[in-house]
Amino acid sequence: MVHRDLHTGNILILPTFEISLIDFISVNGSRIANVNKICISDMGLSREVGNISNTEETKVYGVMPYVAPEVLRGKPYTQAADIYSFGMIMYFVATRKQPFADCAHDDILALKICNGIRPEINGQEAPKWDPEILTGRSSTERKIFLTTNMRIFMVKCINEAG
């Protein structure tokens, strides 16, 4: 599945309550753990891998700071492009700042992204995070990252973000 429009506005954090053996809180005398459920929303542009029409392939969708450079260059959306978007989401989680918040979301920003400019990471803001993951690797490296490290990294990021 390729989402094609991942950004912080499409990530929902829903509080749920589950019975658990750890992190109990007391609610009316019951021991219940407060757990957040994280969901991806706005699946309207999502497509199965390999099931994107030729006319859809080269259209650019999304919020500029979250769009992968290869997509801005006119290449098709892939899972690697979604990983770039996820990296920008993790930048927000780590720093509590939107990527490129100080720039207009225009052609100049698109050109900067295509030329490899990424949001700055202050080591004191995000000391436990891998800057290469947060700021996006090449599309080839992102494909490898997707298959080998994604689940472990996602859990680590969410746990460390609190």
Q: Is the model's pLDDT at 151 over the cut of 60? A: no
**5 labelled catalytic:** yes
Give the total number of structural domains in the chain: 1
pLDDT at site 23: 45
Q: Per the domain annotation, does 103 fall within a domain?
A: yes
Q: Which residue has the higher pLDDT, 156 or 113?
A: 113
Q: Per the domain annotation, does 43 fall within a domain?
A: no
Q: Per the domain annotation, does 80 fall within a domain?
A: yes
Q: Per the domain annotation, does 20 fall within a domain?
A: no
Concatenating the DSSP letter of every residue in 23-80 gives SEEEETTEEEEEEEEEEE--GGG-B-TT---HHHHT---S-GGGS-HHHHTTPPP-HH
Q: Per the domain annotation, does 82 fall within a domain?
A: yes
Q: Would the pTM of this model clear 0.85, i.e. be above it?
A: no
Range of the domain at 136: 53-160
Q: Per the domain annotation, does 3 fall within a domain?
A: no
Of the residues 5, 102, 106, 107, which is catalytic? 5
CATH code (residue 65): 1.10.510.10
User: What average pLDDT does this structure show over 18-34?
Assistant: 49
Report the chain's terminal Cα–Cα distance, integer Å.
28
Q: Is the model's pLDDT at 29 over the cut of 60? A: no
Q: Per the domain annotation, does 149 fall within a domain?
A: yes
pLDDT at site 28: 52
